[in-house]
Amino acid sequence: MRRYWLLMLAITFSCVAGAASVKPAVDAAGTARYKFTPTTVLDLAKRTAASAFVPRRLEGNAALQQLSYDQYRDIRFRPEMALWRNEQVPFRVELLPAGFLFQTPVKVSSVESGMASDLVGTPNLFWLGPHVQKQLANQTLPLSGFRVRTLLNSRSVWDEFMVFQGASYFRAVPRGGQYGLSARGLAIRTAHPAGEEFPAFTQFWIERPGANSSGIVVHALLDSPSTTGAYRFSIQPGTETVMDVDVTLVPRVDLDNIGLAPLTSMFLFDESERTRIDDFRDEVHDSDGLQVVTASGERLWRPLRNPTELQVSAFTAEAPRAFGLIQRSRRVSDYRDFEAKYELRPSAWIEPTSDWGKGSVDLVEIPTENETNDNVVAFFRPHYVLPAGKPWHASYRVRWNATPRITPSLGRATATRSGPTIDGKRRIFVIDFAGAGRNIEDLKLDVGASAGKLSHPTLQQNPLTKGVRASFELDPAGANLVELRLRLLRANRPITETWLYRWTAS
C-alpha cells in the first residue's frame, strides 16, 4: 500500500471553490438535501467549465497538511459507522480523510429517491491512533475520497473492493484478488514536454442500491485547468469486477492530447532482462504486458519494460476492440515474494462501448529504480481535437480480472527472454508460447524487424511448459531502436497472438 500513497506526491490539482453550486434545501433532520437528476452532474460540469479554473487545497488545518505517512495511517474509519451499515443494502461506504499526500478536499454525497445529501467527516466517524490523537481530537475532517465494501469472498466478511482517492484515480479488485494497478478518469499531456496535467474528481454522488442490487452507481465531477467532466460509474463486483463508465467532457480549451480510459501500473523487472537488477525475487511488477485487440481483430502482446530512458509507443490507427494492462505471471514461484503477492494483482481490460473514432493505444514506460513508483501508463489517444466549449461523450467498460476472456482462443506468449550471443555481436530472443499445442510440424515462424538484421529463426518444443519456443537473433547493425514482431502461423493462418518488442541500444 505504501507505493499507492507515494504515487500521489506529484498530484496537486484540487477542486473548484464553490463548484457544487446546486442550491440545497434542509430537511426536518437538519441534513442539507437537494434534488439530484440524471443531468445534475453534466449541468454542473457545463457551469464550471464556463468559469476560470480555481484550484483549492487543504487550508486552515496545519496538522492535516503536515501529516506523515505513519500519522495518516493512524486515522481509521470506524466500520460500524459505514454508510448503510444498519440497512438492508449489499454495500457499505467508508469515508477517507484528507491529509498527508491528499491535500485536495472533495465532497462525497449519497443519493436516495432523487435527493442528494452531503456526507461530513464528523469526529465520531474516525478512530485516531496515538500518532494523531492529540492534534486531531474532536475535529471534523475534510474528505479525500471513499471506499466500498461488499460480501465479495464470503458471506460473513465485508471486503473492500473499490476505492476512489487522489486526483482522478480509482482502483478495484475481483473476487480473490488484491489491489495492484490503478485507473484514472482522464490523462492530459502524459509524457509531453509541456508537462502532465492531472485532472481531479472534486465531488462524488453515490446512489443508494436496493436490497437485492448486484451493483452500485457512482457519479463524479471532474475538473482541471483544461476541462471539466461528468462521469457515471456502474459497478458490479464479482469473479470479475465490471465497471461501465460514461463520460462527457466539457473542455475549457481545445484538447489535442488526452488519454481516454488511462491505466497506471508498475513494472520493475521480470525474466526478460536482469542486467540492472540485484534482487532476490525473480519478477516484480503489477502488470507484465500491454494486450490489444485491434479493430481488424489482430491480437497484440507487448511485454512491458523498465527502460533506461523514457519510451512512448503507439499502436493501431483507430479505436481498438479492447486493450489493457495484464498480469500474466500467476504463480507464487514467478515472484517468490510471500508478502507483496504480485500473483494476485488484477489485470484491467478496457472495452469501448461507443465510437471512439481515429486514434492510437499509447504506452508510456518510465525508468524507475524501485517498486514504489508506478512507471507505466496506457490509454487511448484520439487523433483529433476536442474543441473548447463543445461537450464530448464517450463510454467504455473496465473489467478487473485475472485474465481477459478473448475468443476464439489463440496461443499466448508466456515468457520473453533476451541475452547476448556467445560472441557478443548479436542479441538472442527467446519467446515461449502456450495454448498453441506442442507440434511444431507445419508451423511457420513469422518474424520481422524495423531495422537491423534477423538470423537463425528456430522453433522447438518446450518440455517444461508443454508448449512451443520460438527464438531468433538480432544484429542491430548500428540502429539505436528496433521494433520486433513475431507470431506463429499454420497454413498461413495465425495460431498465436502477435508478440511485439522494442529493443533499444541503451
350, 368 contact by CB (below 8 A): no
Residues constituting the chain: 506
Coil, helix or strand for 336? coil
> What count of other Cβ atoms lies within 10 Å of the Cβ of residue 29?
7
pLDDT, one tens digit per residue, over 436-452 is 888 898 899 999 999 99
Q: Give the DSSP H/E element, type plus range, for residue 377.
A: strand 376-382
Q: What is the pLDDT of residue 31?
A: 57
pLDDT, one tens digit per residue, over 409-427 is 899 999 999 999 999 899 9
* Set of cell numbers at residue 238: 464479482
What are the residues whose beta carbons fall under 8 Å from the beta carbon of 184, sequence distance 6 or more? 167, 168, 169, 170, 262, 263, 264
pLDDT, one tens digit per residue, over 47-91 is 999 999 998 788 877 888 889 999 999 999 999 999 999 999 999
Does residue 172 surpass a pLDDT of 60? yes
pTM over 0.85: yes
Q: What is the pLDDT of residue 273?
A: 75
CA 334 – CA 286 distance, rounded (Å): 12
Q: What is the pLDDT of residue 275?
A: 77
Does residue 27 surpass a pLDDT of 50? no
Sign of CA dihedral 380, 383, 388, 394: negative
CATH number of 2-401: 2.70.98.10
Q: What angle do CA 159, 124, 8 make, to 5 degrees?
A: 55
**Is 8 buried (19+), middle (13-18) or exposed (0-12) by CB count in 10 A?**
buried
Q: What is the pLDDT of residue 170?
A: 98
Coil, helix or strand for 419? strand
What's the first-to-final CA gap in the chain, in angstroms? 32
CA 155 – CA 148 distance, rounded (Å): 16
Q: Label residue 8 by pLDDT band (50, 70, 90).
A: very low
181, 286 contact by CB (below 8 A): yes
* Set of cell numbers at residue 91: 454495500
Q: What is the pLDDT of residue 15?
A: 32
Q: What is the pLDDT of residue 85?
A: 95
Give the bridge partners for 160, in sequence order: 149
Mean pLDDT of 120-141: 93
Distance (Å) of CA 256 to CA 46, 360, 389: 20, 13, 14
Coil, helix or strand for 48? helix
Mean pLDDT of 303-319: 95
Q: Label residue 23 by pLDDT band (50, 70, 90).
A: very low
What are the residues whose beta carbons fall under 8 Å from the beta carbon of 253, sequence distance 6 or more? 226, 227, 388
Cis peptide before 367 (omega within 30 of 0): no
Domain with CATH 2.70.98.10 in the chain: 2-401
Q: For 72, which DSSP code? A: H
Coil, helix or strand for 214? coil
Pick from 86, 96, 92: nearest CA to 208? 92
273, 256 contact by CB (below 8 A): no
pLDDT, one tens digit per residue, over 315-373 is 999 999 999 999 999 999 999 999 999 999 999 999 999 999 999 999 999 999 999 99
CA 446 – CA 469 distance, rounded (Å): 13
Q: What is the pLDDT of residue 448?
A: 97
Q: For 308, which DSSP code? A: S
Q: For 385, which DSSP code? A: -
Q: Which amino acid is at 278?
A: D
CA torsion 164→170→175→180, rounded to 10°? -130
Does residue 147 surpass a pLDDT of 90? yes
Does residue 19 surpass a pLDDT of 80? no
What are the residues whose beta carbons fall under 8 Å from the beta carbon of 456, sequence distance 6 or more? 471, 472, 473
CA 417 – CA 420 distance, rounded (Å): 11
Mean pLDDT of 296-313: 96
Does residue 41 surpass a pLDDT of 80? yes
491, 442 contact by CB (below 8 A): yes
Domain with CATH 2.60.40.10 in the chain: 412-504
User: Tell me, which fold does domain 412-504 have in CATH?
Assistant: Immunoglobulin-like (2.60.40)
340, 280 contact by CB (below 8 A): no
> What count of other Cβ atoms lies within 10 Å of the Cβ of residue 67?
24
Q: What is the pLDDT of residue 439?
A: 86
Percent of the chain with pLDDT over 90: 84
CA torsion 27→33→39→41, rounded to 10°? 170
E-only strand ranges, 151-226: 159-165, 169-172, 182-184, 187-188, 200-207, 216-223
What are the residues whose beta carbons fall under 8 Å from the beta carbon of 50, sequence distance 6 or more? none
What is the average pLDDT value for the chain, to the nearest integer? 92
Does residue 208 surpass a pLDDT of 80? yes
CA 316 – CA 358 distance, rounded (Å): 9
Q: What angle do CA 205, 142, 140 make, to 5 degrees?
A: 115
